[in-house]
Amino acid sequence: MKNFKKYKKLWIVIGALLGFSALVWAASQGMADAQAQDAGRHSSEGVEKPTMDMLKPPKAGPNCDWKKEKDLKQKIEANTKKYDSAAEKAKGETSSGGKVSSATSTEVLKLAKEYKDLQDQYSAMWNACNCKTRANLAKDLGATRVKSAEVVVSEIDKTKLDEMSAAQDKLKLSREAYVKDAKANNEIADADKADIKTNVVPRVKKQIPVLQSFVQSVTGLLGDVQKEAKGATSGGLGGLMGAAKSAGSGPKLLTSVQALLSVAKGMLSNTQGLLSDATSLM
């Protein structure tokens, strides 16, 4: 009977510790979900929007449909404002301790698809007047928005993060090709150069410290998750707690946060390159 009481107390203590460990792990999961969502929103603010603002018509270019160009650009800007509002709503729902609602998720993804459709039309317009690098840039902007929107409305997901990163990398190559072409042919009008200097460059400069802070935040989260995951290989009670994590979401969360850190660093590098490209067009 004495042994029974002794072991009963031990198992109560173990159960309490395992419960506490699960709560800590759940807190890390929630933080990871929120930071992954931030990565999707940073993609729009730090990469997609300023890249679109850099896309200027050639000052003495071919016979493009300029009325259509202006109309599509206005529609793209209007869509982006709606998208930003929907993404902010998604962030608010997550911040309040819940998940992104089905209605908000549907709205965010719908607006992203509409953005892609508009950018595809914009790309076709540029292709029709043989502005190939602009056409490619518009098309890749649309594809990137779709991938970043999927990250905004989802819990942390390595596959979605990797897909967003790949889209951003492709967008970077298209941006660099456009900048190279525009500079080689002296295509940017003085008024557009002034707009890049006044509006685009300051916004990009503002985003760089935001992304640097984001990288630091994700780095800290990864360190916490790695410490929690070490219990899986330790002995004694730590091993028992670790085994409980390993049986659940532990390894998956660790891998996802590692992917998130890679995305954060890549986005920072991309935005720094964007600043260099924008400055070179002035």
pLDDT digits (tens, 9 = 90+) for 112-130: 999 999 999 999 999 999 9
Q: Is residue 190 part of a domain?
A: yes
Pairwise CA distance, residues 260 & 52, whole Å: 24
Which residue intervals of 98-200 are DSSP H helices?
102-128, 132-152, 158-184, 190-195
Q: Is residue 127 part of a domain?
A: yes
Tokens 């004694």 sit on residue: 236
Pairwise CA distance, residues 241 & 15, whole Å: 10
Instruction: Give the per-residue pLDDT at 26.
Output: 53
Instruction: Give the per-residue pLDDT at 249.
Output: 54
Q: Is residue 14 part of a domain?
A: no
Tokens 């730590």 sit on residue: 238
Q: Are 21 and 245 in contact (CB under 8 A)?
A: yes
Q: Is residue 182 part of a domain?
A: yes
Q: Is residue 245 part of a domain?
A: yes
Mean pLDDT computed over 75-79: 98
Instruction: Give the per-residue pLDDT at 67.
Output: 96
Q: Is residue 4 part of a domain?
A: no
Tokens of residue 196, six digits: 């890049």
The confidence band for 245, taking pLDDT boundaries of 50, 70 and 90, is very low
Q: Is residue 18 part of a domain?
A: no
- The answer to whether residue 9 scores a pLDDT higher than 60 is no
Pairwise CA distance, residues 42 & 212, whole Å: 11
Half-sphere exposure of 186 (CA within 13 A, CB side): 1
* DSSP 8-state secondary structure symbol assigned to residue 154: S
- The answer to whether residue 23 scores a pLDDT higher than 80 is no
Parent domain of 166: 23-281
Q: Are 201 and 275 in contact (CB under 8 A)?
A: yes
Q: Is residue 5 part of a domain?
A: no
Pairwise CA distance, residues 222 & 60, whole Å: 51
Tokens of residue 12, six digits: 């109560």
**Residue scoring higher pLDDT (245 or 263):** 263
- The answer to whether residue 17 scores a pLDDT higher than 60 is no
Residues 6 or more apart whose CB falls under 8 angstroms from that of 232 comprise 239, 242, 243, 245, 246, 250, 251
| Structural domains of the chain, count | 1
Pairwise CA distance, residues 230 & 280, whole Å: 47
